[in-house]
Amino acid sequence: MATTTTQNLFFILVIVSAALLRLSQPSEAHIHLFKTCGFNQIYQLGDSISDTGNLIRETPIGAASPFARLPYGETFFNNATGRCSNGLLMIDYFALAAGLPFLNPYKNIDANFEHGANFAVAGSTALSTQILANKNILSPVTNSSLHVQLHWMRTYFHSICHNNRDCVEKLKNSLFMVGEIGGNDYNYALFQGKSFEEVKSMVHDVVGAIKNAVRKVIHYGAVRVIVPGNFPIGCLPIYLTGFKTNDSAAYDEYHCLKELNELSMYHNDHVQKAIKDLKKEYPNTVIVYGDYYNAFQWLFHNAPYLGLDVASLQKACCGIGGEYNFNLTRMCGVPDVPVCVDPRRHISWDGVHLTQEAYKIMAGRLLRDIFPQLQCLI
Ligand SMILES: *[C@@H]1O[C@H](CO)[C@@H](O)[C@H](O)[C@H]1NC(C)=O
Ligand SMILES: *[C@@H]1O[C@H](CO)[C@@H](O)[C@H](O)[C@H]1NC(C)=O
Ligand SMILES: *[C@@H]1O[C@H](CO)[C@@H](O)[C@H](O)[C@H]1NC(C)=O
Ligand SMILES: *[C@@H]1O[C@H](CO)[C@@H](O)[C@H](O)[C@H]1NC(C)=O
């Protein structure tokens, strides 16, 4: 009797520990497998989700931004690098998994680009500053939209390739990331007072710009392209604060704003439809959707098993005030705005961007989804 109970207990413990291990290391096997792709370079287009130092180098506005100062970067680099987090981003984890060094920002003129380059700029948009201005939407941080980044990319490839054929040969073992991008087009519109209907009407053009960017990188020579979608923005402190309402029906069971998450889903549906079309157009190119939406939801819903502080899931680690530890006029990086004691237990770093820990978990989850679709083993 006693033995059976002990045995049962033992088995339960094994099962529980195995389950916990699986949750905490969702992707070790896939992280290992990712190296079998043999990528020589990764090229990234995008915004603050992936910028590793372009904005802080490109203009005085960027150099003066909070991303150029501590506490940004405090956890991994012990210094600000221009990454909009306390440490590493998803693209850093993708590079690590590929066995490559971190991607250098294109605007670092002294950098080595042997293993790829990062063209992403924090604050950038999928639509050009001019097109947004025509819709009365101001792009306040940078003019380096997707179109500008593609231009930098083309200039760079011209500098390393003799001709297009040479580029096709040089890029055959490269991975291209087109996004996340487009999130800021909606951010600016929503915070500048556009209605949901107006913002929804932008999705067609935003995704059109992303689709054209994919066509362009394929023409440069890309054969493997990942096109990420947007996050469930209704779960982020900046939106929870800005669109706070007494109407409980506006929130889902996880206390995320439904209408904002629906906007992200609407955008993501269009991105996936665009990928489907592009695959028909380019049958020899591998084009994979990066499901950032569901990777975030997985992280958010499994937070208790992942060592995160359940009471802080929607509170910025670095920030002050209100229900979400966030105030648009006193954001992270402003003097006297405090940082939480243990960023490893938070999802949100500054109310807009995620912590290194959240990005690490999401990156692992994403690699698990993406790796089989990249067709590296055939
Ligand atoms: C910190 O980063 C800045 C650039 O963001 C660089 O100029 C500076 O030398 C770095 N400091 C240290 C101690 O690494
Ligand atoms: C964007 O370009 C306009 C026109 O050249 C310029 O006035 C503005 O300062 C630029 N904005 C940023 C954030 O660099
Ligand atoms: C929510 O309700 C409280 C108390 O009824 C009221 O004071 C407040 O203005 C309301 N806030 C919003 C955003 O409607
Ligand atoms: C944000 O901070 C400002 C300045 O400290 C303050 O006046 C305002 O009430 C705060 N807003 C919220 C929503 O807490």
Provide the terminal-to-terminal Cα distance of the chain, rounded to the nearest Å: 53
CA of 246 to the centre of ligand 3 (A): 6
pTM of the model: 0.91
Ligand 2: nearest atom to the Cα of 142:
13
Tell me, what's the pLDDT at 9? Answer: 44
**288: which strand partners?**
226
Residue nearest to atom 6 of ligand 3 (CA): 246
CA 125 to ligand 2 center in whole angstroms: 14
3-state secondary structure the chain: CHHHHHHHHHHHHHHHHHHHHHHHCCCHHHHHHHHHHCCCEEEEECCCCCCCCCHHHHCHHHHCCHHHCCCCCCCCCCCCCCCCCCCCCHHHHHHHHCCCCCCCECCCCCCCCCCEEECCCCCCCCCCHHHHHHCCCCCCCCCCCHHHHHHHHHHHHHHHCCCHHHHHHHCCCEEEEECCCCHHHHHHHHHCCCCHHHHHCCHHHHHHHHHHHHHHHHHHCCCEEEEECCCCHHHCHHHHHHCCCCCHHHECCCCCEHHHHHHHHHHHHHHHHHHHHHHHHCCCCEEEEECHHHHHHHHHHCHHHHCCCHHHCCCCCECCCCCCCCCCCCCCCCCCCCECCCHHHCCECCCCCECHHHHHHHHHHHHHHHHHHHCCCC
Ligand 3 atom closest to the CA of 244, numbered from 1: 13
What separation in Å is there between the alpha carbon of 199 and the centre of ligand 3? 26
Q: Using a 6 Å cutoff on CB, does residue 245 contact ligand 3?
A: yes
Measured from CB, residues less than 6 Å from any atom of ligand 4 are 321-322, 327, 329-330
Which ligand is nearest to the Cα of residue 242, counting in written order? 4
| Ligand 1 binding site (Cβ under 6 Å of any ligand atom) | 68, 79-81
Which positions are catalytic?
Answer: 48, 350, 353
Cβ–ligand 2 distance for 16 under 6 Å, the answer: no
Q: How many CB atoms lie within 10 A of CB 51?
A: 31
Question: Which domains does the chain show, CATH number per domain?
Answer: 36-374 (3.40.50.1110)
Q: What is the pLDDT along the chain (378 residues), one digit of tens a residue?
A: 444 444 444 444 434 443 444 444 445 666 678 999 999 999 999 999 999 999 999 999 999 999 999 999 999 999 999 999 999 999 999 999 999 999 999 999 999 999 999 999 999 999 999 999 999 999 999 999 999 999 999 999 999 999 999 999 999 999 999 999 999 999 999 999 999 999 999 999 999 999 999 999 999 999 999 999 999 999 999 999 999 999 999 999 999 999 999 999 999 999 999 999 999 999 999 999 999 999 999 999 999 999 999 999 999 999 999 999 999 999 999 999 999 999 999 999 999 999 999 999 999 999 999 999 999 986
| CA–centroid distance, residue 65 to ligand 2 (Å) | 15
Confidence at residue 212, expressed as pLDDT on a 0 to 100 scale: 98
* Strands 174-178 and 116-118, bridge-based pairing: unpaired
How far, in Å, from the CA of 245 to the mean position of ligand 3? 8
Residue 285 to residue 61: CA distance in whole angstroms? 38
Q: What is the pLDDT of residue 163?
A: 93
From 57, 67, 141, 143, the mutation candidate for ligand 2 (largest count of ligand atoms within 8 A of CB) is 143
Side chain identity at residue 28, one-letter code: E
Task: Return the pLDDT at 33.
Answer: 83
Closest residue to atom 6 of ligand 2, CA basis = 143
pLDDT of residue 17: 41
- Quote the pLDDT of residue 23: 46
**Measuring from atom 2 of ligand 3, which residue has the nearest CA?**
246
